[in-house]
């Protein structure tokens, strides 16, 4: 009975490890290929995944997390309280909250502020410089992986290491299964009985 339970637990753990390694490999492949293909962060179903590199929007967006933003649409549609991603004067992507909507003739500008900052950003953002809206989706710490995937070393490691681990574990499982096969040999008593019958 104990052996049966032990075998079930071992079988479950084996399945769990294999599944985790396989999912890790698939995820690593997706992150790497998607990042390379798009020339930036990965994209899923029209949503771009961006890495958070500062703590200006904490606690909602932790440094090192990834966020989902939705590009496209009318960039003059935003209101106070919306969170937008825009290109600043240094050509960097920033995700901050709209503090005030400023109308200047035909132009719409947004005064923005990081939730964790004491003051609004130095310059209002022209609606033409807004690239997307933050959709409220974030995963902590995964941004470090995305940034790492952009480097040549990161791409190689994220593709090769999970694959090696999966192959290694598969080889170990096969070896373990082969070592447990019992090659049954006839016992001496059975051999004697067969001789006597002849």
Residues annotated as catalytic are 54
Q: Please report, for the chain, the start and end positions of each structural domain, with discontinuous segments joined by +.
A: 2-180
**What was the pLDDT predicted at 52?**
86
**What was the pLDDT predicted at 132?**
93
Instruction: Report how far apart, in Å, the C-alpha atoms of 173 and of each of 19, 35, 68, 81 are.
Output: 13, 33, 39, 54
| Rounded Cα–Cα distance for residues 28 and 169 (Å) | 18
**2-56: per-residue pLDDT in tens?**
567 767 777 777 777 777 766 766 666 666 565 555 555 556 667 887 888 888 9
**64-107: per-residue pLDDT in tens?**
888 889 988 899 999 999 999 999 888 888 999 999 999 988 88
Q: Mean pLDDT lowest for which of 47-61, 100-114, 122-136, 158-172?
A: 158-172
Give the mean pLDDT of the chain. 76
CATH code of the domain made up of 2-180: 2.10.109.10
3 state SS of 74: coil
Residue 130 reports pLDDT greater than 60: yes
Do 15 and 30 contact (CB within 8 A), yes or no? no
More confident residue, 131 or 188: 131
Residues paired with residue 95 on neighbouring β-strands, in sequence order? 85
**What was the pLDDT predicted at 58?**
87
Residues in the chain: 198
How many other C-beta atoms lie within 10 A of the C-beta of residue 144?
15
More confident residue, 124 or 154: 124
Dihedral through CA 81, CA 86, CA 88, CA 91, nearest 10?
160
- Burial of 116-137, coded b for 16+ CB within 10 Å and e otherwise, reads eeeeebeebbbbebbbbbbeee
């Amino acid at each position: 009975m104990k052996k049966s339970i032990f075998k079930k637990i071992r079988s479950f753990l084996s399945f769990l490890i294999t599944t985790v390694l396989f999912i890790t490999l698939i995820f690593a492949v997706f992150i790497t290929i998607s990042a390379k293909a798009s020339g930036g962060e990965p994209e899923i179903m029209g949503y771009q995944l961006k890495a958070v590199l500062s703590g200006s929007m904490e606690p909602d967006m932790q440094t090192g997390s990834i966020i989902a933003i939705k590009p496209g649409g009318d960039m003059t549609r935003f209101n106070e309280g919306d969170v937008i991603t825009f290109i600043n004067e240094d050509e960097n992507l920033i995700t901050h909250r709209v503090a005030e909507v400023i109308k200047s003739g035909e132009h719409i500008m947004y005064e923005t502020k990081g939730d964790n900052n004491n003051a609004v950003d130095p310059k209002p953002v022209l609606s033409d410089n807004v690239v997307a809206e933050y959709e409220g989706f974030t995963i902590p710490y995964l941004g470090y992986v995305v940034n790492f995937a952009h480097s040549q070393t990161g791409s190689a490691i994220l593709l090769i290491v999970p694959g090696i681990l999966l192959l290694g574990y598969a080889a170990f499982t096969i070896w373990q299964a082969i070592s447990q096969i019992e090659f049954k040999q006839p016992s001496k008593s059975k051999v004697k009985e067969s001789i006597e019958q002849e």
